[in-house]
Structure 1
Amino acid sequence: SFVQLVFGVCYLTVTSWRLSLILLGVWAVLFYVYAVYGRFARHSSLLRQDKLAVLNGVATEALGNVRTLRAFSGEEAMMNRYEQESYNLIFLEHQRGAAYGLYATFYNGLTEGIKAVALGTGGVLVSRGAISPEQLTASMLYVDNVVGSSLAVGGQYRQLMQAIGSSRKVFEYAEMPPSPSMVATAATALQVVPAEDLRGAVSF
């Protein structure tokens, strides 16, 4: 898709630099929208993973301590906590859905607008004799090809940003330094905590 986009723009530039210059200005706006929504998608994916982790933590805590909750009548408090975390996640999903709806509406309208601008500008250039009708026809074919390629590139960029946001925790865990070992080795001899320095103080 990216290769088709580059070659399509190059062909349009060779065919009519005036037409390609106008279209490049519109495409710049389109790719700016891609970049803005990509950053939002990455950030919202980070928040989604965090809220899912909190929600799963609440459920795990409730199931693991079910006897304690029943003994101290904590079911209602735990249900309220789980309900609140669920509402937070649902609210975030509504935001993501609304943002994607605006994004899809804008870039679909803008891509169709590119074709309209190309046809209108090309008609003016043909009437002035700057390009021939055959060149306009060929340019419109490549405009349609470039628009389709730009949509594909934008969709791939959006999915890439979402994947990066969703996998943040994996990279964080992979980059965490290891804990000091309690067993002396040649590499960790200076990091070992001596047994006589270990103390415990449990109080109630």
Structure 2
Amino acid sequence: MEWLIGTVALAITIFTATNIDDILVLTIFFAQVDSKFRPRHIVIGQYLGFTALILASLPAYFGALIIDRKLIGLLGILPIAIGIKHLLPKEEKLTVQTHPHGGKKKSLWLAPQTYHVAVVTFANGGDNIGVYVPLFASSNAATLSVTIATFLVMIAIWCYAAFQFSSHPAITKFLEKYGDAIVPFVLIALGIYILYESQTYQLFPFFSFK
């Protein structure tokens, strides 16, 4: 039971750290809802885009089945590097199309608006893959399943939160102001955790203790 609680807690932490900026994008989307751009387009698009991110990261898990766990742990350097990158000054941020309305083509579930949200979600998740790859690679079947399930639940929570935030600009401004200051340290801590959990530090002589 302890491993389950620990896995869920870690998954929630990682999801939150890698999707702070995404909730801002979702909030912008929900603020644009009208007769042509509906909440279902945003929710389904978010799930499609995030599923693509998960699928892009899954090969790392299967690779871990044939590659030494300590070597896989070296992937922990990725979130550390991403965290450091977040600490560096940013020249520009992702911009979101103001009116993601499609043309005349209509579909109940896969309208052009849905694909637009999915594409933005995937494009905005480049760093997510860099974090999920080492996480999945250092997981076993049970922890991977729980992690993905937790991610999928968190997407629903994220969408609901963004929907609520869309009517409270002050909350959005707070996240935008302080979110970037927290995320880098969470990612760096995650990388260190992966290096330690995979015992990768044993590959380096100066960390070997006899």
Q: TM-score when scaled to structure 1?
A: 0.34
More helix by share: 1
> What's the TM-score, normalizing by structure 2?
0.33
Larger radius of gyration: 1
